[in-house]
Amino acid sequence: MGIYLSELYGKKIITNTGSILGDVKEVVVDLEAGEVAHLLLTKLENLSKSPDARMELSKNRVLYTRVKNIAETIIVSSK
């Protein structure tokens, strides 16, 4: 069973060790692969205003490959 992208927005992201990372603000999709690539903890428009957007993106994203479970919250593996 699949999940709609719209269902991801606003969900809390928690590591499997219990650390709260934040809420999903944006979802990045790899259109060529047809899959979700990243969950962002900040809006893209906020990142684009940053003088070092690449560093901010790196700090405020979660690779979707780390996702272990999606329910009321999103559980991801620790780094």
Where does 5-76 sit in CATH, by number? 2.30.30.240
What is the 8-class DSSP label of residue 6?
A: G
At a CB cut-off of 8 Å and minimum separation 6, what does 71 contact?
Answer: none
**DSSP three-state, residue 9:** coil
C-alpha span between 27 and 7 (Å, rounded) = 11
pLDDT of residue 19: 95
What is the 8-class DSSP label of residue 60?
A: T
Q: Find, among 47, 41, 34, the residue nearest to 2 by Cα.
A: 34
pLDDT of residue 47: 67
Q: Domain limits of the chain?
A: 5-76
Say which residue the tokens 């901010």 belong to.
Answer: 56
Give, for all 79 residues of the chain, the pLDDT tens digit. Answer: 688 999 999 999 999 999 999 999 999 999 999 999 999 998 878 766 767 877 878 889 999 999 999 999 999 998 7
